[in-house]
Amino acid sequence: MARKKASAKKGNRTADSYRDRWRWDSVTWGSHCVDCYPSNCPHRVFVRDGKIVREEQSGTFPVIEKGVPDMNPAGCQKGAMWSQMHDSEDRIIYPMKRVGERGSGEWERVSWDDALTDIADKIIDAIQEYGSESLVRIGEPAEGGTQVLVCASMLINMIGGITTDVQAEINDFSPGLYTTFGKFDPAASVDDWFHTELVLIWHCNPIYTNIPWYHYVAEARYNGGEVMLFAPDYSPSALHTDLFASVRPGTDAALALGMCQVLVEEGLYHDDFVKDQTDLSLLVRTDNQHFLRASDVDGGRDDQFYWYDTVTKSVVEAPRGTLALGDVDPALAGEFEATLADGSKVTVTPVFALLREMLNRDYTPEKASEICGVHPDVMRRVARTAARKRTRLLMGWNSGKYYHGDLMERTMALFLGLTGNWGRKGTGARSWAVGWYEGLFAPLAKEKPGRQAARDMKNMMDQLLAAAKEADPTMTDEIAVVEGEYEAARMGGMVPAVFFWYYHCGFRERWNKPEWNDPSMKRTFDEYVEEGIERGWWEGFRTPDEKTPPQVIFEIGSNVLRRTRGGQDILLENLWPDLKLILTIDWRVSTTGLMSDYILPAAHHYEKLNFCYQTPHVMNLTFSDRAVDPPGEAKSEWQIVLALAKKLGERGKARNFVEYQHRGMPIRLDTLYDALSKNGAYDDDERLVDEMVKDSATFGVIPKGTNLKTMREKGFVRFTDWGLSSMTLAQASDLKPDEAHAPFRRHTEKKEPFPTLTRRAQFYIDHDWFLEAGEELPVHKETPKQGGNYPLVLTSGHPRHSIHSMNMTNKVILATHRGHPSMFISPEDAKARGIKNNETVRMHNDVSSVEIDTKVSTLVRPGQVIVYNGWEPYQFEQWKGTENVEPGMVKWLHLAGGYGHLQYRSIHWQPVPIDRAIHVDVEKIKSKRKAKAGAKRVAAKRK
Amino acid sequence: MRVGRVDTRDEELLSPESTAWQEAAVNEVVLSPTPLELQPTDYIRVSRNGRPYGAVSSMRVSALHNGDSVFFHLVWQDDSEDRAIKDINQFVDGAAVMFPIVEDAPLIGMGIQGKPVNVWMWRADWERPKNVAAEGMGTTQRRDDPALSSAVRHADGNWDLIVGRSLEERDAPPGTIALAPGAASKIGFAVWQGSEQERAGLKAFSPAWQDLELDA
Amino acid sequence: MTERQLAFVFDLNKCLGCQTCTISCKTLWTDQPGMEYMWWNIVNTMPGRGTPRDRDQMGGGFDAEGRAQAGVLPSAKDFGEAWDFNYDEVFYEGKGQSAHLHPRSPSANGKDEAPEWGPNWDEDQGAGDYPNSYYFYLPTICMHCTDPACLAACPRQAISKREEDGIVLIDEDRCDGYRFCMEACPYKRIYFNPDRFISQKCVMCFARLEQGVAPACVRQCPGRVRHFGYLDDEESDIFKLVKTWKVAIPLHPEFGTQPNVYYVPPLAPPRFDENGEIDEENPRIPMDYLRSLFGPAVDQSLATLKLEMEKTRQGEKSELTDILIAYKWQNMFIPFVEDPGELSRPAPKS
Ligand code: SF4
Ligand code: SF4
Ligand code: SF4
């Protein structure tokens, strides 16, 4: 039958036309240096006739560990269409000035010079009137990449502006992991997932959010591992598992505690591990529920804790400098007597005994099952498996976005602790970590360009570290760096976002609503704020304070109106009206851009030099090159910031305002450009980036001799050392060239202490607020009815189709889904409301009401609706995104401070907003409003 | 079929309304569906079995030449005017005249190897008819031919089409019929109804050659 | 049979439904005029209607006697049109918040008509009753069938099957846009280019193969789902998965075209009984449903897979799971292991 011809032989026109399509003139390295996380997928970018035609994953990762699959060909569909965003309809290539009302869509193309002059004048006005802390840069995940991070933060810092904490802005924080470990960022390298014998996907949807690396999960399964998923919905990540357990939204703590009860009652817990790694062996006074402290016993330190040694039958100090038990065998059960400094006696008992009592009382699998809906036998099965197997919790940022996410995470960590599952290959909680690339900030931070200045800087840092450790020999490098960060945080720059929201963005009223908070919040939110301020916990961080109305907002490579929990409206109503200048720097039209006064056109990712966020997940420094020059008048962020610095100097001089004070330090505008560019030494991107790479080599985190040229050859380079970033030191494992990385091995193998108050993984928090709330031990609490008394709970998550809003408005990617925002709803709930698939409905609660189209899906748990995020508000009717129904609550307890690790440092402990399990209802829209105008395409001003 | 000679300019002959055509003799040509069993592939035979095609049963044909060019005026009934496809599952209307290049080239099957035919094919979405050389089904070679021209209107449920070609042989694509004043040949006709998804061999055709004579 | 045959194995137990394959093909081949709506590679959520919608009910292929079966010619709406978006209206026309960005059906003649379907419209909708919902992802491309229904249907002989590797190609010069191939293809993997009036489909990236580079959708699949190679190469993953282990099986074998894309069928977590207890007896994805897609061979395939996975859980080695793990990525598509970034393929000067 088959007609056999070799029709693709040379000379066939069709065949030749296809051959000719797959041709190019040049190839460069490219990647997508945005916070898609973990990112770092090296690509090749193909250019033809001066235009970028496509990209493809390089597939050039070597095998790291013998017997572990390589990481190729890391990438995803967004990465494969990045080139399509170059001249996408949402691209901006000329400076644009608003001429109508904010958000009116009336723009005028202006020259760079006019734009910068006006911007500089407005900045100077603000400084003169309210001081420099009225200049607010919205902390961002730097969608323009590390170049934005460096440029934007440097300039804003240098003029005395503030940056709202990025982790709070994007509410990516694991408060419960932090409470437990004093760090929230254990992050194994992705290839270590292969070693896992029980992958417990919990609060994570890696099939959507971890496309490049998910294969390790599937491959761990083929390697003999088991994969399980706990979630309310039969999420895509359930498909390739061996067990899906459906959890009622917000009840994960009960599930975890039910499993912990099994471990304790069946004696499956790892006794040695519990004793040395955790605080479960420390003693608590039964009279006041506080830890027994040296300050009680002999007037000594407040942070010296005790064990009951079953060998010597005595209360002994638990060392702060090591986790090693030495000759001590601490009791995990029993009540003992301790003598206080005044000679009085108190009864003490180990935390473990309190825990056991609580578990047996409140969290037998049967009781836990009533709360969370998971069958008790499923809990037993998972607990018994985890007790035997190398278990990893594949977590994302979901749990921390629940009101009681901290409790969930503390119980999940407890589950790991009882099963001995950290500090070994294939184990632990998977979180997030960045940092590491010392050279990123060094060129600007050091005295002057060149190697010697870098070496001097490194020596100085080494000396500081050594001095700190000498002063307190119980410190590890990690702890010393963390302590330094607590100090440094008070100098300004990045500050917690909570006060900005509280004073200026309209959240205060919502946060005070008792019905949207937990009943154990005994006082008003205001009272906790006041107490926190009075006790000095937030000294230096309360800015811009109530007397400093924000004047200028910088939005550089991010999109605050898209993502703010609480919605666009709360910002537009409370913050926007009094702002003198809203400046957006971006390469695409975002909703924030549309609501700004200026949009300045940035270079797209393949038009500038950049690096991906450095992360232990991938362990590489990944480079992205300029494949073509930016089109129109677009510029790299560095060039924009340099031009603005120059202009600020110029305008300062013209206005006779060149010097002012900020937190006791003088700031000069006329030398700003020289200071930033090191007298012009870094005036072009190539020189700056070359210096960054070389500095990193000098700091020893990448191989000696690495520079821009070598990066251009290979595209990426594997890190060789952790450097001095707290997030990398938090990994607490040695970095090996031929081994996958599993965090916390120094804690288990070398018994190095944790950076917590007790220097152990800490499950008992005797802070008086926690005691007041009944959260000294991790417990389950119901999620408050945020939004009002409505029958459905709204959850969310990162979408499959976009990195935040970045790809969401591109035609190519829009065609791979429905092209408009969708709300997943179960067939039952849709039917009960007479709602059909793909019907526009109204989602509403006491906060707001928005319109959205349905996607009726069996994956949804009845009672739940899901809207994956990332949609631009301008993709919704009236630009009202679903964030508008989220009240944007924060948990009051996270204002606690003054307690060891419970104090602020950049991107760590602080209140972060909540957006999961918001109560809503959904209703049919009676008269369906449909956009009428058959919108003509009018040649736009952007041309 | 006689091709009368007139002294009218090409431009005028290319207009269906032209008075020249009112005087031309009209031939009634009977059309019938191409036989199912002769469709070239099993798929076509199976898929059109029980799904009729080729419903246009007749066509009125006149022919004129002016010494420089020859014109055929075809009129047939087709209620749906399918000039362009609006969707990928649609087809356009078409019509063709066919000539044998060698005397005994078979009409059915569009010639056979060694015995070619020449087709002037009009399709409602083309700017100009195409010149097709064929030696049997599936062998057709379509070529652009600037010497071909057409004019068409759709009125009162009829297509009214004029297809013409200059008699000049220079630069004619290979396989083009040589017609000249005084010469004789044969001719056949075909019609495709787009609305019935007719294309390729799915059409109505005149099952036998008609004689063709050009007035000297 | 051609002298040699290249074939694909898609491991559905690794597929994420991410559409990287889909995009990789789009940016390489189908970004030309008239191809905007084409997705030579597409991944669908199953159970679902597929692309084009309801494709499994569209006929084509051959019956058990090898006789051609009538098929339906899909519309652009069935495939999913290339939507328009009102960017300028939203960004620049001074309409403020009264205009929002949304897709419009291009066939609505300028009317603002919301699309009702797209190539991946029913993504993640699935079937079954929660918590026993079920669905999985099914990527499809041209199957480069051993007995291609498209080739057999074409009256123009515009479709050929290459002797040296079995690639089925449409000669765009010969193609007259008759679209019998589209009707006849039971997998509905041929599109029509209205601008050029020709049919077009996956070319198996032959231009890449000639340079020793694997097809884009294979090489760019981050899920490491796609094995590729010669069906007769006994060393290849393809041979081992299809012939030795027989876990990779064709989709709709009853279509009669002998497709050369093979699938490792999907497993799923256990379902729950009425008491919320794990039900080990009845699979979450009904076997009848899987048989309707993959034919009777699916039972044996899944049994083998489970057995081998159980072995690895007991700490034993399994050749089968080692292949599916794909320790070394490049081994998935031997001998097409060249790195395109290292090639020099200068564009002809225009
Ligand atoms: S085949 Fe690969 S690229 Fe395609 S959807 Fe599946 S995992 Fe993604
Ligand atoms: S899948 Fe369809 S297009 Fe591809 S060879 Fe088979 S019949 Fe032809
Ligand atoms: S083999 Fe090539 S042409 Fe075919 S679907 Fe894959 S990428 Fe597209």
Q: B40 vs C71: CB contact, 8 Å cut-off?
A: no
Q: What angle do CA A33, A38, A41 make, to 5 degrees?
A: 60
From the CB of C213, is ligand 3 less than 6 Å away?
Answer: no
Residue C195 has pLDDT above 60, yes or no: yes
> Which residue in C has a C-alpha nearest to residue B200's C-alpha?
C178
Pocket test for ligand 2, best of C142, C171, C262 (most atoms within 8 A of CB): C142
Q: How far is A593 from chain C (nearest CA, A)?
A: 10
Whether residue C194 has a cis bond before it, omega within 30° of 0: no
A866-897 pLDDT, tens per residue?
999 999 999 999 999 999 999 999 999 999 99
What is the C22 CA–ligand 3 centroid distance (Å)? 8
What is the SS3 assignment for chain C? CCCCCEEEEEECCCCCCCCHHHHHHHHHCCCCCCCCCCCCCEEEEECCCCCCCCHHHCECCECCCCCECCECCCCHHHHCCCCEECHHHHHHCCCHHHCCCCEECHHHCCCCCCCCCCCCCCCCCCECCCCCCECEEEEECCCCCCCCHHHHHCCCCCEEECCCCCCEEECCCCCCCCCHHHHHCCCCCCEEECCCCEEECCCCCHHHHCCCECCHHHHCCCCCCEEEEECCCCCCHHHHHHHHCCCCEECCHHHCCCCCEEEECCCCCCEECCCCCEECCCCCCCHHHHHHHHCCHHHHHHHHHHHHHHHHHCCCCCHHHHHHHCCCHHHHHCCCECCHHHCCCCCCCC
> Of the given ranges (A433-447, A790-804, C47-61, C153-167), which has the lowest mean pLDDT?
A433-447
Is there a contact between A211 and A73 (Cβ–Cβ < 8 Å)? no
Residue A423 has pLDDT above 50, yes or no: yes
Residue B203 CB: number of other CB atoms within 10 A? 22
In C, which residues are within 8 Å of A826 by CB distance? 130
Residues composing chain A: 943
Tell me the average pLDDT across A265-286.
Answer: 98
**Structural domain harbouring C328:** 6-66+120-340
Domains and CATH numbers, chain A: 14-85 (no CATH), 96-172+435-496+538-606+625-705+718-731 (3.40.50.740), 187-431 (3.40.228.10), 792-886+913-924 (2.40.40.20)
**Neighboring chains of C (3 or more beta-carbon pairs < 8 A):** A, B
> Residue A9 has what pLDDT?
52
Give dist(CA A404, CA A774) in Å, integer.
13
Which of A1, A53, A236 shows the shortest C-beta gap to C152? A1
Residue C285 has pLDDT above 80, yes or no: yes
Whether residue C52 has a cis bond before it, omega within 30° of 0: yes
Residue C107 included in any domain: no
Residue A177 has pLDDT above 80, yes or no: yes
E strand spans, chain B? 2-5, 27-30, 32-33, 58-65, 69-77, 94-100, 117-123, 130-134, 141-143, 148-155, 158-166, 184-192, 204-205, 210-214
Residues with a CB atom less than 6 Å from ligand 1: C 15-21, 43, 137, 139, 221, 223, 225-226
Residue A606 has pLDDT above 70, yes or no: yes
Nearest to A668 by CA among A679, A657, A658: A658
Give dist(CA A160, CA C276) in Å, integer.
59
Give dist(CA A57, CA A45) in Å, integer.
9
Nearest to B63 by CA among B52, B53, B71: B71
In C, which residues are within 8 Å of A860 by CB distance? 130
Element (H, E) at A351: helix A351-362
In C, which residues are within 8 Å of B45 by CB distance? 68
Tell me the average pLDDT across A553-558.
Answer: 92
> Residue A37 has what pLDDT?
85
Nearest to A913 by CA among A628, A563, A547, A608: A563
What is the A857 CA–ligand 1 centroid distance (Å)? 21
From the CB of C189, is ligand 2 less than 6 Å away?
Answer: yes
Is there a contact between A645 and A676 (Cβ–Cβ < 8 Å)? yes
The protein residue with its alpha carbon nearest to ligand 1, atom 8, reads C18
A55-77 pLDDT, tens per residue?
999 999 999 999 999 999 999 99
CATH number of domain containing C253: 3.30.70.20
**Neighboring chains of A (3 or more beta-carbon pairs < 8 A):** C
From the CB of C185, is ligand 2 less than 6 Å away?
Answer: yes
Task: Tell me whether 0.85 is exceeded by the ipTM.
Answer: yes
Residue C237 has pLDDT above 80, yes or no: yes
Q: How far is A766 from chain C (nearest CA, A)?
A: 38
Which of A80, A377, A837 shows the shortest C-beta gap to C24? A80
B71-126 pLDDT, tens per residue?
999 999 999 999 999 999 999 999 999 999 999 999 998 999 999 999 999 999 99
CB of B44 within 8 Å of a chain C CB? The answer is yes
Torsion angle of C-alpha atoms A849, A854, A859, A862, degrees rounded to 10:
50
Give dist(CA A740, CA A216) in Å, integer.
12
CB of C155 within 8 Å of a chain A CB? The answer is no
E strand spans, A503-560? 552-556
Residue B37 has pLDDT above 50, yes or no: yes
**Interface mutation vs chain C, best among B88, B141, B197, most C CBs within 10 Å:** B88
> Residue A141 has what pLDDT?
78
Which of C69, C75, C149 shows the shortest C-beta gap to B89? C75
Is there a contact between A152 and A137 (Cβ–Cβ < 8 Å)? yes
Q: Give the number of the atom of ligand 1 that is nearest the alpha carbon of residue C14.
A: 7
A688-743 pLDDT, tens per residue?
999 999 999 999 999 999 999 999 999 999 999 999 888 899 999 999 999 999 99
> Which residue in C has a C-alpha nearest to residue B109's C-alpha?
C155
**Structural domain harbouring B44:** 2-214
**Which residues lie below 8 Å from residue A750, measured CB to CB, with a gap of 6+?**
none
The protein residue with its alpha carbon nearest to ligand 3, atom 3, reads C202
Helix axes A685-699, A451-471, angle to 10 degrees: 40
What is the A587 CA–ligand 1 centroid distance (Å)? 29
Residue A2 has pLDDT above 60, yes or no: no
Number of structural domains chain B divides into: 1
> Residue A927 has what pLDDT?
60
> Residue A10 has what pLDDT?
53
CB of C120 within 8 Å of a chain A CB? The answer is yes
CB of B195 within 8 Å of a chain C CB? The answer is no
Element (H, E) at A856: strand A849-856
The protein residue with its alpha carbon nearest to ligand 1, atom 4, reads C21
Rg (CA), chain C: 21
A95-136 pLDDT, tens per residue?
999 999 999 999 999 999 999 999 999 999 999 999 999 999
Phi, psi at B185, each rounded to 5°: -155, -155
CA A144 to chain centre: 16
What is the C105 CA–ligand 1 centroid distance (Å)? 27
Q: Which residue in this structure is represented by tokens 């092209």?
A: A819
From the CB of C168, is ligand 3 less than 6 Å away?
Answer: no
> Residue A7 has what pLDDT?
43
What is the C203 CA–ligand 2 centroid distance (Å)? 11
Q: How far is B153 from chain C (nearest CA, A)?
A: 23
CA atoms within 13 A on the CB side of B40: 23
Which of C69, C77, C177 shows the shortest C-beta gap to B46? C69
In A, which residues are within 8 Å of C13 by CB distance? 218, 221, 240
Q: How far is C120 from chain B (nearest CA, A)?
A: 19
CB of B40 within 8 Å of a chain C CB? The answer is yes
Q: Give the number of the atom of ligand 3 that is nearest the alpha carbon of residue C204.
A: 1
Where does the pLDDT of residue A11 fall: very low under 50, low under 70, confident under 90, or very high at 90 and above? low
Element (H, E) at A688: helix A685-699
Inter-chain CB pairs, B–C, below 8 Å: 74
| H helical segments located in A768-909 | 768-773, 811-814, 827-832
Rg (CA), chain B: 16
Which of C68, C149, C155 shows the shortest C-beta gap to B137? C155
Residue A939 has pLDDT above 50, yes or no: no
For the stretch A542-555, what's the b/e string if a residue is b when 16 or more beta carbons lie within 10 angstroms of its beta carbon? bbbeeebbbbbbbb
Residue A372 has pLDDT above 70, yes or no: yes
In B, which residues are within 8 Å of C74 by CB distance? 88-89
What is the C266 CA–ligand 3 centroid distance (Å)? 23
3-state class (DSSP) for residue A41? coil
Return mean pLDDT, chain A: 94
Nearest to A31 by CA among A803, A696, A815: A803
Question: Which residue type occupies A933?
Answer: A
Residue A856 CB: number of other CB atoms within 10 A? 22
Q: Give the number of the atom of ligand 1 that is nearest the alpha carbon of residue C226.
A: 1
> Residue C214 has what pLDDT?
98
Helix axes A637-654, A685-699, angle to 10 degrees: 110
> Residue A150 has what pLDDT?
84
CATH number of domain containing B55: 2.60.40.1190
Cα–Cα separations (whole angstroms), residue A874 to A123, A385, A404, A803, C100:
28, 48, 31, 17, 5
In C, which residues are within 8 Å of A5 by CB distance? 160-163
CB of C264 within 8 Å of a chain A CB? The answer is no
Cα–Cα separations (whole angstroms), residue C32 to A20, A776, A807:
13, 63, 21
The protein residue with its alpha carbon nearest to ligand 1, atom 5, reads C17
In A, which residues are within 8 Å of C135 by CB distance? 239, 858-859
Inter-chain CB pairs, A–C, below 8 Å: 371
Pocket test for ligand 1, best of C9, C218, C226 (most atoms within 8 A of CB): C226
Q: C169 vs A824: CB contact, 8 Å cut-off?
A: no
Give dist(CA A542, CA C149) in Å, integer.
72
CB of B55 within 8 Å of a chain C CB? The answer is no
Residue C110 included in any domain: no
